[in-house]
Amino acid sequence: MGAKERIGAVEDRSEGVSAIPSERPREASKPLLMVDIDGVISLFGAPMGPGGGPLEGSFHSIEGMPHFLSATAAAHLLALSSHFELVWASGWEDRADEHLPHLLGLPKGLPFLSFERSVGRSNAHWKLDAIDGYAAGRPLAWIDDAFNPACHEWALQRPSPTLLVQTDPEKGLAGRETLRLERWAQELQLR
């Protein structure tokens, strides 16, 4: 199978970590949406929109680090929450719930993954064990800006429907990715 066919299969196919459950009940009928933060909601570089104008959002100092938080990405996540059970899959871990709900109007109390090893921005495979453990065979989509070959191989071998959606870290979660995720979730419901 060539690289193009393998990527299509990932999109269309039906190391000591822990996951912290939220206080809300799991919505087992919805697929999971594993959400990274850096490069998806917190953007890198000059925050410019699709037409070259500025993106909607604002700068915040979070634990002493400057972050441009995209209001556009937050709005897209809110729209996706009707199709998915959202789960933070980020090195932010519990800090996501501490900061993002009041800064961006995102739901409070979303579950988050906890990782045993140190995180590294260019090395997405450090998330695989935590995501796999939390998902427990449920269909899932994962949105991140730093997938590597291990992520694609894992998605290909997963028996449940799995979709990897990569963002541009300067634009984050935008309309194109949101539409793709919505269509995928709707197709799952038709199966």
Q: What is the pLDDT of residue 8?
A: 34
In the prediction, which pLDDT does 117 show?
A: 60
CB neighbour list of residue 99: distance below 8 Å, 6 or more residues apart: 60, 62, 92
Cα separation values, 6 from 1, 2, 129, 145, 161, Å: 6, 6, 22, 19, 14
Q: Could you tell me if 137 and 38 are in contact, meaning their C-beta atoms sit under 8 angstroms apart? A: no
Q: Residues 40-51: pLDDT tens digits? A: 988 886 555 556
**Tell me, what's the pLDDT at 119?**
47
**Low pLDDT (below 50) residues in the chain:** 1-26, 119-122
Res 83: pLDDT: 96
- Which tokens belong to 115? 């990782």
Number of other CB atoms surrounding residue 46 within 10 Å: 9
Residue 52, pLDDT score: 56
Q: Rounded distance, CA 18 to CA 114, Å?
A: 5
